[in-house]
Structure 1
Amino acid sequence: MTNSKINMLVIDDDDINIFIIKKVIEKTGYEVDMISKSNGQLAVDYLSSITHNVDIFPHVILVDINMPVLNGWEFLEAYEKLNVLKPDIYLYMLSSSVYEYDIEKAKTFKSVNGFISKPLTIERLKELLQLVTP
């Protein structure tokens, strides 16, 4: 493991899921600085405010689908309009949805790297974090 810290943004309105993700991160052995936002609008505002700060811009973004204010799909539309020019961002939909439609819809967004079904496992998170580390 490299000494560099991995920045992660989790966009989810479920406090229990946020707690679980924090616990999973602890068990990976990776040094991860996790920020969470409870809806897509708060996440867009946050990302807009740090666009030019590469030291804290997320390497990994996990987005839930069903949230108030701006849901996951609306977040993705707004995110893609931000024109973030950082190719090393790994964005995944993280949802409890079992609908094939949602999995297929996620594939239509150029910024989405994949779809992960909740709950996030230690093994799956390790796979994601390995993508980020040199």
Structure 2
Amino acid sequence: MTARLNVLIVDDDDLTAEIVSRSLKKSGIDFKVIHASDGQEGLEIMRGQSEKRIDQPFVTLLDLNMPRMNGFEFLQAVRADPGLSSAVIFVLSTSDSDSDLVRAYRDQIAGYLLKSAVGPQMIRLTTLLGDYAHSVRLPPLPH
């Protein structure tokens, strides 16, 4: 069982990141939240190449539609990196496209969540991550 779950939010929408962060903090579960504004920044954080640090264990909440490096490019880079390939990534997107859903699962995501379906207060997302934190053991990523 994980005592603390760290969450990396990779999303260019600052408002979504703020809502998710506030919702997780209000849940009473011990979450530490780090925000990356695009896939490139997210990779730098995961690789330890940023001033922002994320401690293990962590999960990533990934938006698909972002500038500079989109979610699919991020997924491909993570899965191709031996030090990151086992990272746990959930997609949190506005895209309801079946092709996006299938493509994301091909890149071994842990789950695909629609922003509209998790609610404006992100209650379903908070519940999911809380249950996940208390039920699943995550291995450390190799260095």
TM-score range for the pair, normalised by the shorter chain length: 0.7 to 0.9
Where do residues 56-75 of structure 1 align in structure 2 (5 Å cutoff)? 56-75=55-74
Post-superposition Cα deviations, 1:3-52, rounded to whole Å, max 9, x if no partner, equal x32111000000110111012112322111000100101111111117xx
> Deviations for 1:67-102, whole angstroms, at most 9, x for unmatched residues?
111000000011112223685x53111100121111
Give TM-score scaled by structure 1 length: 0.83
Matches of 2:29 and 2:124, distance apart in 1? 12
Count of residues in Structure 1 that have an aligned counterpart in Structure 2:
127
Where does residue 108 of structure 1 map in the other structure?
A: 106
Cα RMSD, aligned residues only = 2.3
- Residue 115 (structure 2) aligns with: 118
Question: In structure 1, how many angstroms separate the alpha carbons of the residues matched to 2:85 and 2:76?
Answer: 17
User: Is 1:21–2:2 an aligned residue pair?
Assistant: no
The question of whether the paired residues in 2 share the 8 Å contact of 1:48 and 1:82 is answered with no
- TM-score between both structures, scaled by the size of structure 2: 0.78
Residue identity over aligned pairs, in percent, reads 30
Unaligned runs of 5+ in 1: none
**Unpaired segments ≥5 residues, structure 2:** 136-143
**Mapped contact 2:78–2:84 kept (Cα < 8 A):** no
